[in-house]
Amino acid sequence: AEVEQSYIMIKPDGVQRGLVGEIISRFEKKGFLLKGLKLFQCSKDLAQEHYKDLKDKPFFPTLIDYITSGPVVCMIQIFVILSCKAWEGVGVVASARKLIGATNPLQAEPGTIRGDLAVQTGRNVVHGSDSPDNGKREIALWFKEGELCEWESVQTPWLIE
């Protein structure tokens, strides 16, 4: 079976506010496996392609300005064990969205990244893929082949019984 992957990105406000460690830490503590990681200044073209589903929204130009306003941190997160009952039906994409919280930080639950660390929709510090297909699409967009690592974590047997 194909391993579901989520593209997670710390937006420029998260980098500027010194939240990189805090945000990565939340995914690490949850038990996701990191498969790719980099600090990156993206072009307008890439930002527009990434958010192409939103291109007709009134906030699209300010969204593109925001995402390209400084470096972002790009990550690929996966779950290692797919066959385990505990994770069945809850892939890394949906699970990461839960950790991230609602798009509008005022509606995001405390305990989520946006609920704890952000105030406004236009400054919501982090991105996470909204479907496995978009996870695949976004990873292909933001990462090159040689930037991905295949490795095993010693955590795995301690995450799942």
Please report, as a single letter, which amino acid is at residue 49: E
Q: Phi, psi at residue 10, to the nearest 5°? A: -85, 120
d(CA 84, CA 158): 13
Specify which residues 112 forms β-bridges with. 110
User: Do the beta carbons of residue 59 and residue 94 sit within 8 Å?
Assistant: no
Is 114 known to sit in a ligand binding site? yes
Residue 49: closest CA among 68, 36, 35: 68
Task: Work out how close the CB of 105 gets to ligand DAT at its nearest, in angstroms, rounded to a whole number.
Answer: 10
What character string, x for contact with ligand DAT (CB under 6 A) and - otherwise, covers 60-99?
---x------------------------------------
Cα 10 from chain centre = 7
Binding-site size, ligand DAT (CB under 6 A): 9
- Comparison of 49 and 130: residue with beta carbon closer to Mg ion: 130
How do strand 72-78 and strand 126-128 relate by DSSP bridges?
A: unpaired
Is residue 130 within the footprint of ligand DAT (CB under 6 A)?
yes
Detail the DSSP E strand segments found in 59-131: 72-78, 126-128
Is residue 122 within the footprint of ligand DAT (CB under 6 A)?
yes
Residue 103 contact partner, candidates Mg ion, ligand DAT, none, CB within 5 to 8 A by sort of partner: ligand DAT
Residues 101-130 that bind Mg ion (CB under 5 A): 130
Is residue 103 within the footprint of ligand DAT (CB under 6 A)?
yes
- Comparison of 28 and 130: residue with beta carbon closer to Mg ion: 130
Binding site residues, ligand DAT, CB under 6 A: 54, 59, 63, 103, 121-122, 124, 127, 130
Residues identified as active-site: 127
